[in-house]
Structure 1
């Protein structure tokens, strides 16, 4: 009666933390059917060999997509342990940017085409969510505690991908914890005040390690930047010089 894809999507809602009642109301599928699917969940899941668990381990074939998703994960993503050794990848995307939600879902599907992706609405944002036993293999930065309270470093294979696709990584970071804004000021010209507007990019993150990864990627593509601080702590990376903003506009652009 129900196709495999609909069953997988329903089970992904359970893995994302929704109750049996909530999933039944949302999908229109009876509780008994969902309960039965959950009892037989393993045969219903397609198994895809993990590139990091393979012998020898390899890297994701969709390298540019992975670099973008890595930026999203380091900014606004997390992994949550679920039953049966499954992990839920959750990327928080502000509802103000529907294009970001679409891009996030598309890139997760590119990395794990056999896994369902669902959108879980929260206050002011949408959690784009997908479950797999192998998300920790692709994001070894996962560990207990907040990212800014522990060391964050890329594995050599991740660094190779970022070096090959720095703009995709930068775009993912900006789309998560960054923004493009327009500042303005006034100057007196010929005795009259004249308004000047100038765009700039900000990336805000409490983790010095993640700020450092962003700065290194900007250096690699020739973008000039500087750090602004909140008290003694680094807080923002600002890109304000005209040539550098033009480069960012060409390869990143504003959220939409």
Structure 2
């Protein structure tokens, strides 16, 4: 994929620049680059799971989609309890069929309970979320549906020792964290989460809020998965904000200091 992206950029520079095809070519390039980076983050997430989980670890998958990461959680921690959250009805139904031993909730986790309008992207459901975001799609087909919302703290029993949480809900990750603040503070799990200007900022959330919540409220350090896997130091507040604002990364890890 990296070689193909390089060829696309060379073609853009040499042939298409300043022609009517340039905007289309740039959209294609951004879409392919985004897909390639997602695959890298998925591989890093699996490495974190293998490094951190025991065979009986408790995991939470928020924004389960089709269950790719949930499957890895269950494979690495087969004796653990697993909780999965997916608000799109047909995806949640499919997850129940595939993972009957897992707690599947047809919910959009947030900082409050009730019903809310939800932006379902028909031609790429992985982009779906409570708010519209910047899409790496030429023509996103969006349907507004109504889904149930709840707080993670209302669902996870206090005596369940949560070890790992993955949150990928297209910009609403901070809201889900706020709705699970007691669960996070009680367990201090590793959290792998998405956060970026093209999604998070559409909710009016800035990187300072995320960093301060995790570092000060939850006593968790923040970094990238790559840095964590290599044993490098965590981010300062300034470093995290730079990575967020400059789009150097859009997937991060929060973890306890010991």
- Provide the TM-score with structure 1 as the length reference: 0.26
- Provide the TM-score with structure 2 as the length reference: 0.26
Looking at both structures, which has the greater relative contact order when contacts are Cα pairs under 8 Å and sequence separation is at least 6? 1
Flag the structure with larger Rg.
1
The structure with the greater share of residues assigned to strand is: 1
